[in-house]
């Protein structure tokens, strides 16, 4: 058992470290999440577009019932059919063309393939139950602005 002064010191250190961990050192993250299909089903797909300190950083891609993650690489801006968008490379060589249409994203696996319409996904509490996502964009319009500023330009 720790003496009371040692316990108080350990508790103070733990609280200080926890307080620092809860506040990233001036890092400003944002994420826009989009999904296709019904979460929890085999056909579900999820894309997340991240920025860090006002710059494009990571793209996440997950599929299926258990949201299995795959590595994604941003390939740059693209204009399929004259529409501004961008391309992504999913691990395994699959290329995705992404084109905004209103507040949805039309995603194709290949030129001429039928697009899948990904919709913005809210991440946060529902009926006051759940955890607030502090880095998630607030709505579909903010998500589109993030994409236009950091992925399409």
Residue in 57, 34, 58, 36 with CA at minimum distance from that of residue 47 = 34
Cα-flanking dihedrals φ and ψ of residue 148, to 5°? -65, -40
- DSSP count for the chain of H helices, then E strands: 2, 9
d(CA 59, CA 107): 14
Q: From first to last of its 153 residues, what are the pLDDT tens digits of the chain?
A: 444 444 344 434 433 434 333 444 446 899 999 999 999 999 999 999 999 999 999 999 999 999 999 999 999 999 878 899 999 999 888 999 999 999 999 999 977 789 999 999 998 888 888 788 999 999 999 999 999 999 998
DSSP for residue 115: P
Q: Are the C-beta atoms of 104 and 118 separated by less than 8 Å?
A: yes
Structure tokens at 114: 């039928």
């Amino acid at each position: 058992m720790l003496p009371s002064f040692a316990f108080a010191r350990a508790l103070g250190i733990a609280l200080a470290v926890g307080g620092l961990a809860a506040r990233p050192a001036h890092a400003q993250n944002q994420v826009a999440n989009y999904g296709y299909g019904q979460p929890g089903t085999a056909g579900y797909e999820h894309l997340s577009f991240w920025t860090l300190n006002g710059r494009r950083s990571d793209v996440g891609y997950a599929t299926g019932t258990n949201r299995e993650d795959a590595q994604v690489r941003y390939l740059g801006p693209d204009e399929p059919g004259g529409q501004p968008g961008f391309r992504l490379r999913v691990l395994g060589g699959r290329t995705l063309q992404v084109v905004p249409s209103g507040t949805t994203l039309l995603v194709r696996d290949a030129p001429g393939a039928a697009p899948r319409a990904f919709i913005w996904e809210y991440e946060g509490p529902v009926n006051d139950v759940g955890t607030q996502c502090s880095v998630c964009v607030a709505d579909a319009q903010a998500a589109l602005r993030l994409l236009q500023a950091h992925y399409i330009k």
